[in-house]
Amino acid sequence: MEKIMDMREEEEMKSLGLFGICTEAYKIILSGRKIFTQITLALILPLSVIFLAHVQVSELLMSRIIKDYQAVIEQPQAGTRGYEKLYTHLISEWTTFWLFKLSYTIFFLIFSLLSTLAVVYTIACVYTARKVTFKMVMSVVPKQHS
């Protein structure tokens, strides 16, 4: 990527303000359109998909929990075999819900950190006038080991 910014003095960078920061960000993204598109497709898009899947699955699990909870409440005789079976199923649904929430949080944090790392590294390369490629960016992003 070619050098897109003149090396600015520290004081000039400090006094940019909100509009100046947005303008600089826009210039950087436009000049590195290809690499930022690749970062978006490789890291930010999966992050968005994880978030949207989380919303849908959480809604599904919560509707099942509410249905089971209503069945437990409507069960006329607490302590019967039917009541215990419904109650056990409700506990199982809650356990599934919280395990899903935990796994979502872990994946969301991982992809958030990796995408932030990739963008920060790319912008640091731009500011230091170093050539940056998608392969270089992905080599900085830690690999997951199975």
For the chain, give every domain's residue range: 33-140
∠10-12-15 over CA atoms, to 5°? Answer: 110
- Give the Cα separation of 133 and 55 in Å (integer): 34
Q: What is the reported pLDDT for 22?
A: 87
Is residue 122 within 8 Å of residue 132, measured between CB atoms? Answer: yes
Q: What is the reported pLDDT for 106?
A: 94
Q: Which residues fall within 8 angstroms of residue 54, CB to CB, at 6 or more apart? A: 104, 108
Q: Please name the residue that has the structure tokens 């960000």.
A: 25
Residue 20 predicted with pLDDT over 90: no
Instruction: Output helix, strand, coil percentages for the chain, rounded to the nearest 5.
Output: 80, 0, 20
Q: How many CA atoms lie within 13 A of 62 on its CB side?
A: 7
pLDDT in tens, 75-133: 767 677 877 888 888 899 999 999 999 999 999 998 899 899 999 999 988 888 888 88
- Give the Cα separation of 46 and 107 in Å (integer): 10
Q: What is the reported pLDDT for 60?
A: 96
Residue 1 predicted with pLDDT over 50: no
pLDDT in tens, 27-84: 888 988 999 999 999 999 999 999 999 999 999 999 999 998 888 787 767 677 877 8
Q: What is the reported pLDDT for 112?
A: 93
